[in-house]
Structure 1
Amino acid sequence: MRDFLPADKARRERVLAVIRERYRSHGFDEIETPVMEDHARLHAGIGGDNEKLAYNVLKRGLDADAVRAAADDPAALTDLGLRYDLTVPLARFYASNRAELPAVFRSVQIAPVWRAERPQKGRYRQFMQCDIDIIGDASTRAEVELITATLDTLDALGLQGGSVRINDRRLLDAMLEYFGFPEAERPGVLITIDKLDKIGPDGVAAELRQRSSSPAAVDAFAGFLARERPAGAGFDEARIRAALPEGLDGDAVAALSEIGDAVAAARGARVPLEFDPFLVRGMGYYTGTIFEVAHPSVSYSLGGGGRYDGMIGRFLGQQVPAVGFSIGFERIVDLVADHAGDAREAVVLVHDQDVPVAQLAALKAAFVARGCRVRLERRPKNLKPLLDRATADGYSHFAAVRAGMDADSLELKPLG
């Protein structure tokens, strides 16, 4: 968990303002949910490994005997917890407020979440998530809207050239069945396949041989990994089929092809999509399309998401289609070039010690009324450190203020 100095905070807020504006322009409406949810909801088996990282809140009023009696049962000690993502709160929010929401609800959530991570570079215990979700639309239109809104937002942040790796959990299940992995083994097999980028085909095959009780299935999968990949770029039905085991077909292929055609229509000739038959994404609640956004400037993904049609039904008692896309704000904010800053003129008024407070208040009010950002500073013996700090904080001009001066008599001088 980190502190942010004024310049860092201002930078983050500028990036957030762009993200909010782009999402709003694509028809998404922002909501807010509490930072805490019920313990049972956060540990309902839909949050994957993130559930293990949840911060739980101790029940109020427990005495020492009650704590000792429940020491082996966390659920008996806690009734609330800090949210570890924004998807579980959204599902609860929709179930609670459905009557007041449109049939197809396009949601934006931008808020901090908490996970008990082991502190290290790039992993924080409190961090910002930026989620867009569409609830109530089972068609591929929802995926297309999410993908185009996300890529448009990256463009607006100056990160042009982004692309989306895309797959479908139904195709993954069909592949594992094709190779002969028993259904009970498939969740563990997917965990290993998800390491393909880190440990390579040989490492995946070796780990599968240790994990799986089906040597023939592992051999078949290893042989598929070793095959020659289709050459060339592009995203269409023929290329999708060519990347899959021969004869593997189904509605998922047609859906991916339809998404590709629609994104091409929105984005122009180059389709910024790449079919990756081994893209897994670790969250167990995904039921269909899954995706990750990539950028050529970095080797890691800048966000991801997918369809989770089964989650809201756990809270509502009836199935509701849902799909979401989250961009990694903490990763993106470090990549965005900080060109614009605050567009307003920013002025530091450096005043002598004998200038009356009333005069300073009037001067400041005059500049604020002109649309300026204004800071009052008493003149020190050495002016340079003060001006350097003002420049670092985004101020563009300064003026020396003496007793009796008004706003029109001040001489503004540029900083930096």
Structure 2
Amino acid sequence: MPCPALLISAPASGQGKTSVTAALARSARRRGQRVRVFKTGPDYLDPMILSRASGHPVHQLDLFMGGVDHCRALLADAARDADLILVEGVMGLFDGNPSSADLAAAFGLPVMVVLDASAMAQTFAALATGLARFRDDVRVVGVVANRVGSDHHAALLAEGLPADLPLVAALKRAPALSLPERHLGLVQALELPDLDAQLDAWADAWDAGCAHGQASEALWRPVDFSSAPADPIHALGQPLSGRRIAVAQDACFSFIYPTNLSMLSTLGADVRLFSPIAGDDLPDCDALWLPGGYPELHAPALQQHPRFFDALRQHLGAGRPLLAECGGMLVLLDALTDADGIDHPMAGLMPGQARLQPKLAALGLQAITWPEGELRGHSFHYSTMETPLAPIATARNPNAGRTAEPLYAQGSLRASYVHHYFASNPAAVAAFFKGDR
């Protein structure tokens, strides 16, 4: 079904892609439009913001982690009931392999480029034109000037832009609209009580900024997604029918791709969410997933609920599958040292300890071979870990980066720093959670 769609990109990170995408989504939603937003590449924090802006879960579109057919099926599904589809890019438009430009080319998505204009004038047009002309298979249909100082500044920025590359909006500089950040990026949406007011302020800024720009019909031209095949996940049937899978989900365990949860349900699982830091008991379950998050920030809260650690011990003692990713893995260790050097006892179910450090320890896409088959995902963490366990596999980085995370197994436990994208191999994920060995 045809639906207007737009990929929002930039020449680099930090230009304002997330705030512009969120502002556009909230503005369209306030006008009564049904908006679906996607995020390119591995990211948890930006999608939380975009989900609040649009009122719907934000799924990933990643050609490496999900593949072309899976991504096309997600877009087609969104187009069936949306008036507008927005896709936020990752890094710069042409950065990475695959890049945001590759995604735009694969699905015919028109591109709107966001440029931080705070330190330039006429060069703005040269940079925007260069991005628009760099690849023939990528169609850049407009440009947004972000962090503009004045109306005169906006006029200088528009000078020299070709007719087919209009200035869509000029957004005034407003430091008060910035979101707080911490070591892994933006603070989580659930930790920002005034987020909705801020999103409305962003939408107001977008509406005001559009008054300084030019309308462009090419910007909202429908893209046809009707030829998309069925999502490959549906071909598996329901191998998890009758399986109860508990998933920790709260401010401590929050790095969860919505597609992972929906895929487990599609495969027949009874997904049971619970909050360890709120003191929820581990639900009656056949398998358990501890996703990543911020255990270093919530260690005291975990220690206030010792029943959680006891339930984990009983779960593993019964030989039930447990997948622990990144922060979820750190919770199983003997100890975790936070950024202030304070040691926190953890569950003691996986030998070893971890320490937060001020600099990034690992970053990159990952492909890792489980006993059930290869899965894909990514790694992003500031902690380092020591364990006497020998890995059963080591990931590879498709971009030849240094990050190559080990995979550990101990009884029914599977643990790694890798944040897995379940849709990269749903059959392997289903086999693990079924306990097939």
- TM-score of the aligned structures, taking structure 1 as reference length: 0.25
- TM-score of the aligned structures, taking structure 2 as reference length: 0.24
Larger Rg: 1
Determine which structure has the larger strand proportion and give its number: 2
With a CA cutoff of 8 Å and minimum separation of 6, indicate the structure with the bigger relative contact order: 1
Determine which structure has the larger helix proportion and give its number: 1
